[in-house]
């Protein structure tokens, strides 16, 4: 067999990502909690409940797990509704609890990357229309200032908004996230407001903390024509990619907000990201479908024979990550993979998914793409939004009844990668032997330092 070790640059960040509502539990004062109480909103009637009980203090044991398994960073989010339970009323005890959590991360050797907004809204803000309310930009800036003032001695690595595109489509174009508006014009307005709010937040953070690194965690989904060569399929795939993938990074770069024929320069938005945060999961095939104007005339699917996750949510398409990283490089910023992972309670697919995606990250680094870190989604199974507990993305499993954590084989695989700062053929042979030949072909990829055994 061929032996090779794919080493990452020293100082590379290895971690996992989580989000407040998905792990904390008892987040009763936000729009997701309310949504979960409405029949039919969440698959199987699931609710976030205690989630992973981080608000009860179990973040400490999970940070220990992360640190003991070689991770050196953790991406987490803050719950706005805890910090500002009513307009301009601040709960300092919530900020203290986050201070403890961040101090705990640092004490365990995990550099915190902190997301200010990850899908949820305080109820008072949701009632005002959240991303449609007139003062959302000012509200987000005020919240940012409060948080950064309180936490800046512990954090200098900020994500303002997680996946504005997923939030805009899920909540405003579609029906999966609250308020389920089902209107494309509403999604466009929400996205525009997110760009403005991000920029206001970016400037506020830099004013308070000039050395901070500030960005967005941007979801790039691959879109490919279902039938290559079919002009209509190719066109809708391109259109979806332009609208979904390109709008946000472009506006943060040059200030031009272009969507569906409308183009406008947003003042103060150009040049407001210090890094490119990239969330990547899969590639979707697009077929032209005249009956779906709301989905930009597209029917999405995965090809027959795709290497699918158990609920059919994700296809294992590592080349899509390679393309996303190559595309992100044009912005000339350091890149962090801020999310990547797969739902897989039995941990059958995860090891090869992880191996194949890390190999693409390594390849990107080796052609000079400035990828500086990788955050696996997720550390422990958590509440997967409208899919409830039906999907399990954790390296560790979670028994929601007992709060017991279950060590999946991927824990040890990822630990070896993090500790060695490298992915080796030998690790893949042990954790994902079925992927060995495709990832480390016997004839050997060119340019590698290869030992033949």
* 339 is a site residue for ligand FCB (CB under 6 A): yes
CB of 323 to ligand FCB, least distance (A): 18
Pick 17 or 269: Cβ nearer ligand FCB? 17
Listed in sequence order, the residues at least 6 apart from 441 whose beta carbon sits closer than 8 Å to its beta carbon are 2
Question: Where are the strands (E) in 33-179, listed by range?
Answer: 73-77, 111-117, 157-162
Closest CB to ligand FCB belongs to which residue? Answer: 19
* Measured distance CA(70)–CA(82) in Å, rounded: 31
Q: Is the dihedral of CA 286, 352, 52, 279 positive or negative?
A: negative
* 353 is a site residue for ligand FCB (CB under 6 A): no
In 3D space, the residue among 89, 87, 62 whose CA is nearest the CA of residue 74 turns out to be 62
Among 162, 165, 309, 400, binds ligand FCB (CB under 6 A): 162
In 3D space, the residue among 403, 432, 438, 398 whose CA is nearest the CA of residue 417 turns out to be 432
Provide the 3-class DSSP secondary structure of residue 159.
strand
The residues in 97-156 that bind ligand FCB, with binding defined as CB under 6 A, are none
Cα distances from 387 to residues 221, 364, 441, in angstroms, run: 18, 32, 37
Question: How many residues bind ligand FCB, per CB under 6 A?
Answer: 12
CB of 450 to ligand FCB, least distance (A): 35
CB of 229 to ligand FCB, least distance (A): 31
* Measured distance CA(22)–CA(388) in Å, rounded: 9
Torsion of CA 426, 429, 431, 432, to 10 degrees: 130
* Measured distance CA(137)–CA(81) in Å, rounded: 16
CB of 442 to ligand FCB, least distance (A): 35
CB of 197 to ligand FCB, least distance (A): 17
The burial of 421, by beta-carbon neighbours within 10 Å (0-12 exposed, 13-18 middle, 19 or more buried), is given as middle
Pick 225 or 318: Cβ nearer ligand FCB? 318
Q: Which helix (H) or strand (E) holds 148?
A: helix 136-151
CB of 440 to ligand FCB, least distance (A): 28
Pick 76 or 196: Cβ nearer ligand FCB? 76
User: Residue 298 forms beta bridges with which residues?
Assistant: 288
What's the chain's length in residues? Answer: 453
Pick 279 or 316: Cβ nearer ligand FCB? 279
- H, E, C per residue of 356-383: HHHHHHHHHHHCCCCEEEEEECCCECCC
* 166 is a site residue for ligand FCB (CB under 6 A): yes
Segment near ligand FCB (CB under 6 A), from 162-170, 240-248, 249-257, 293-301?
162-170
Among 141, 317, 344, 384, binds ligand FCB (CB under 6 A): 384
Among 169, 302, 377, 413, binds ligand FCB (CB under 6 A): 377
Segment near ligand FCB (CB under 6 A), from 39-47, 159-167, 182-190, 367-375?
159-167
The residues in 205-224 that bind ligand FCB, with binding defined as CB under 6 A, are 219
**The pair of three-digit structure tokens given for residue 418, joined into one six-digit string:** 């993090």
CB of 427 to ligand FCB, least distance (A): 24
User: Residue 2 forms beta bridges with which residues?
Assistant: 452
Taking every pair of Cα atoms in the chain, the longest distance, rounded to a whole number of angstroms, is: 66
* 385 is a site residue for ligand FCB (CB under 6 A): yes
Among 13, 16, 19, 147, binds ligand FCB (CB under 6 A): 19
Segment near ligand FCB (CB under 6 A), from 96-104, 158-166, 187-195, 205-213?
158-166
**The pair of three-digit structure tokens given for residue 31, joined into one six-digit string:** 């729009």
* Measured distance CA(308)–CA(180) in Å, rounded: 27
Pick 255 or 320: Cβ nearer ligand FCB? 320
Pick 142 or 240: Cβ nearer ligand FCB? 240
Among 62, 84, 141, 163, binds ligand FCB (CB under 6 A): 163
* 79 is a site residue for ligand FCB (CB under 6 A): no
- Site residues, ligand FCB (CB under 6 A): 19, 22, 162-163, 166, 219, 279, 339, 377, 384-385, 393
């Amino acid at each position: 067999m061929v032996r090779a070790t794919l080493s990452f640059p020293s100082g590379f960040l290895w971690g996992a990502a989580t989000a407040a509502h998905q792990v904390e539990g008892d987040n009763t004062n936000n729009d997701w909690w309310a949504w979960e109480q409405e029949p039919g909103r969440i698959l199987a009637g699931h609710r976030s409940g205690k989630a992973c009980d981080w608000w009860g203090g179990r973040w400490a044991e999970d940070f220990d797990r992360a640190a003991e398994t070689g991770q050196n960073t953790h991406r987490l989010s803050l719950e706005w509704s805890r910090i500002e339970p009513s307009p301009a009323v601040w709960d300092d005890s919530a900020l203290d609890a986050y201070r403890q959590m961040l101090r705990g991360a640092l004490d365990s050797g995990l550099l915190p990357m902190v997301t200010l907004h990850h899908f949820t809204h305080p109820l008072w803000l949701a009632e005002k229309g959240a991303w449609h309310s007139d003062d959302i930009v000012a509200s987000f800036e005020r919240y940012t200032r409060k948080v950064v003032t309180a936490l800046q001695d512990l954090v200098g690595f900020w994500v303002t908004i997680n996946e504005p595109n997923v939030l805009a489509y899920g909540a405003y174009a579609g029906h999966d996230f609250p308020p389920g508006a089902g209107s494309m014009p509403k999604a466009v307005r929400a996205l525009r407001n997110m760009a403005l709010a991000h920029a206001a937040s970016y400037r506020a953070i830099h004013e308070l903390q000039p050395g901070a690194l500030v960005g967005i965690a941007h979801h790039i989904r691959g879109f490919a024509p279902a039938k290559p060569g079919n002009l209509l399929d190719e066109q809708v795939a391109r259109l979806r990619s332009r609208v979904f993938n390109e709008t946000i990074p472009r506006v943060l770069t040059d200030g031009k907000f272009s969507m569906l024929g409308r183009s406008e320069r947003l003042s103060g938005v150009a040049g407001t990201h210090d890094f490119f945060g990239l969330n990547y999961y899969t590639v979707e095939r697009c077929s032209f479908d005249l009956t779906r104007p709301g989905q930009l005339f597209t029917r999405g699917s995965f090809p027959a024979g795709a290497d699918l996750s158990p609920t059919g949510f994700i296809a294992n398409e590592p080349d899509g990550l390679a393309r996303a990283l190559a595309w992100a490089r044009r912005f000339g910023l350091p890149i962090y993979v801020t999310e990547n992972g797969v739902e897989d309670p039995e941990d059958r697919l995860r090891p090869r998914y992880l191996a194949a995606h890390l190999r693409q990250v390594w390849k990107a680094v080796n052609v000079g793409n400035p990828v500086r870190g990788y955050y696996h989604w997720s550390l422990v199974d958590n509440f997967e939004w409208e899919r409830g507990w039906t999907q399990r993305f954790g390296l560790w499993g979670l028994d929601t009844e007992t709060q017991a954590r279950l060590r999946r084989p991927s824990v040890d695989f990822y630990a070896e990668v993090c500790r060695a700062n490298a992915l080796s053929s030998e690790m893949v042979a042990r954790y994902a032997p079925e992927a060995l030949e495709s990832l480390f072909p016997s004839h050997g990829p060119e340019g590698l330092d290869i030992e033949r055994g």
